[in-house]
Amino acid sequence: MQSVIPYGRQHITEEDLAAVREALLSDYLTQGPKILEFEEKFAEYVGANYAVALSNGTAALHLCAIALGVKPGQKVITTPITFAASANCVRYCGGEVVFGDIDPETYLLDINSVRRLLEESPIGTYHGIIPVDFAGRAVDLEAFQSLAEEFDLWIIEDACHAPGGYFKTSNGEASRCGSGEFADLAIFSFHPVKHIASGEGGMITTNDEGLYQKLLQLRTHGIIKDDERYSNSPEFAAGQEGETIYPAWYMEMQSLGYNYRITDFQAALGLSQLNRADQGIVRRREIAKIYFEAFKGLDFVKGQSGVVEGHAYHLYVLEVENRLGLYNYLREQRIFAQIHYIPCHLMPYYRDLGWQEGDRFNAETYYKHCISLPMYPTLTQEEQEFVITQVIKFFNNEG
Ligand SMILES: *Cc1c(COP(=O)(O)O)cnc(C)c1O
């Protein structure tokens, strides 16, 4: 047994090491062929036409908000039960974040709370919605898309928790997280606690070619290198009158972009991890099923993630009566559970913008009871049994 059982952890194999080593010894540490290869494989994995790899998931969200044209004063809706980056990308562009509430059963952004917000304001007040596949459970984007069409909004799916996840559409078909079937853009993170680890890393997927081109440009300073698309003349480019051909050195900065690139050795690691992503999900689903069976019907459990089809189980969440007591007790046993999330609207930054306690009842109630148990593919059966025994022991001793 490991000395500590964390709530999530990466898994690095000999193949991963070999892939990184090969990339490090190649001609390209960055801006090389591994990045495109990672993008193509990832796009295929989620079922989207295009993918853009980036330095992290937060950079991915930032570029999405720019590409969709978020401007000061415009409002965007997201969930309060998410990592702060889902909301912050709107603020980077000067937009206003409006938090909906969560559905207390699924812990996902409640579409009815979103509809109420939209109906309270004149059309045009809101610009977009950022639903999050929280814990790995896929949002019903088909429903969100029809709402978005009604109110002329875009959708960014924050799928950081859910590569490989899916929901069932009204036709009974599986729609994969990040496929772009019902959203304009989707984003992923390859931080070590997520399904696929590259150290730092992120990805945007889309089916919109125009957005794809914009994102490529924004990722590298707003610079393009493409004879067909330059604004300046070949004469200017060459520095020679009468010249009709752009010289090989020429490039143009056409918009204000950033350096949000991923490196080739990170892409090589991501690619290697992607090859066993499905195996990881199978294992995560097994772990979820064992937790569910162990805790169902126990009276200290107020709610749990349960066994849900298409769930990618980034997290396994339990809601319990005495959450603080359980958390502290598990820590003494060297089980490092975690809390996901402190409601984003009650972070001091967002309180300063006017949000206060009582604004989002379901999210705030959930926060008082939620705890994420260890969930990662290399969690052993023995370790999981230890976690389950300790959780039950805590409540038996308490009662
Ligand atoms: C991890 C995460 C992010 C941010 O990704 P980074 O790669 O850490 O920048 C955004 N949203 C959610 C829901 C996340 O879990």
DSSP-assigned states of every residue in 341-381: ---GGGSHHHHTTT--TTSSHHHHHHHHHEEEEP--TT--H
How many Å apart are CA 118 and CA 140, to the nearest integer?
18
Neighbouring CB atoms inside 10 A of 263's CB total 23
Partners of residue 175 on adjacent β-strands: 167
Q: At residue 39, what is the residue type?
A: E
pLDDT of residue 117: 98
172 and 282 within one domain: no
Q: Are residues 174 and 307 in the same domain?
A: no
Nearest to residue 317, comparing CAs of 107, 5, 79? Answer: 107
Q: Residue 83: how many CA atoms within 13 Å on its side-chain side?
A: 18
Cα torsion through 381, 386, 392, 394, rounded to 10: -160
> What are the φ and ψ backbone dihedral angles of 338, each rounded to 5 degrees?
-145, 165
**What residues make up the domain containing 227?**
223-253
Residues 113, 241 within the same domain: no
How many CA atoms are closer than 13 Å to the CA of 113, on its beta-carbon side?
Answer: 22
264 and 375 both lie in a single domain:
no
What is the number of structural domains in the chain?
Answer: 3
Question: Does 117 lie in the same domain as 197?
Answer: yes
Return the pLDDT at 1: 52
Would the CB of 82 count as within 6 Å of ligand 1?
A: yes
Domain harbouring 371, CATH code? 3.90.1150.10
List the chain residues with pLDDT less than 50: none
CA of 246 from ligand 1 middle (Å) equals 41
Determine the Cα–Cα distance for residues 394 and 318; give it in Å rounded to an integer: 14
Cα 193 to averaged position of ligand 1 atoms, centre (Å): 10
- How far is 191 from 213, CA to CA, in rounded Å? 25
What is the structure's pLDDT at 262?
98
Burial of 241 (0-12, 13-18, 19+ CB in 10 A): exposed
Q: Residues 134, 235: one domain?
A: no
Q: How far apart are CA 55 and CA 42, in angstroms?
A: 15
Q: Give the Cβ contact number of residue 345 at 10 Å.
A: 26
Residues 239 and 158 in one domain: no
Q: Quick one: pLDDT at residue 399? A: 58
How many angstroms does the Cα of residue 83 sit away from the middle of ligand 1? 6
Give me the pLDDT at residue 282, please.
98
Same domain, 261 and 205: yes
**For residue 303, what pLDDT is reported?**
94
Kindly state the helix (H) or strand (E) to which residue 337 belongs, with its residue range: none
* DSSP alpha helix (H) spans, the chain: 14-24, 33-46, 57-67, 85-92, 111-120, 141-150, 209-219, 234-238, 264-274, 277-295, 323-332, 348-351, 361-369, 381-398
* Measured distance CA(148)–CA(168) in Å, rounded: 19
**Whole-number pLDDT of residue 3:** 85
- On whether both 231 and 367 belong to a single domain, the answer is no
Beta carbon of 202 within 6 Å of any ligand 1 atom: yes
Residue type for position 231: S
What pLDDT was estimated at residue 398?
81
Pocket test for ligand 1, best of 7, 10, 58 (most atoms within 8 A of CB): 58
Nearest CA to ligand 1 atom 7: 57
Give the nearest ligand 1 atom to 134 CA. 13
pLDDT number for residue 92:
98
Same domain, 184 and 304: no
The predicted model scores a pTM of 0.97
With a 6 Å cutoff on the Cβ, whether 175 touches ligand 1 is: no
Domain boundary among 276, 308, 339: 276
Calculate the CA 300 to chain-centre distance: 31
Measured at the CA of 61, the angle between CA 214 and CA 304, to 5 degrees, comes to 145
CA of 132 to the centre of ligand 1 (A): 10
For position 2, what pLDDT does the model report? 56
Angle between helix 111-120 and helix 141-150 axes, rounded to 10 deg: 10
Residue with tokens 């390859």: 190
Backbone angles phi, psi at 301, to 5 degrees: -90, 120
Claim to verify: residue 145 and residue 249 sit in the same structural domain? no
Q: Are residues 81 and 154 in the same domain?
A: yes
Which CATH number belongs to the domain containing residue 101 in this structure?
3.40.640.10
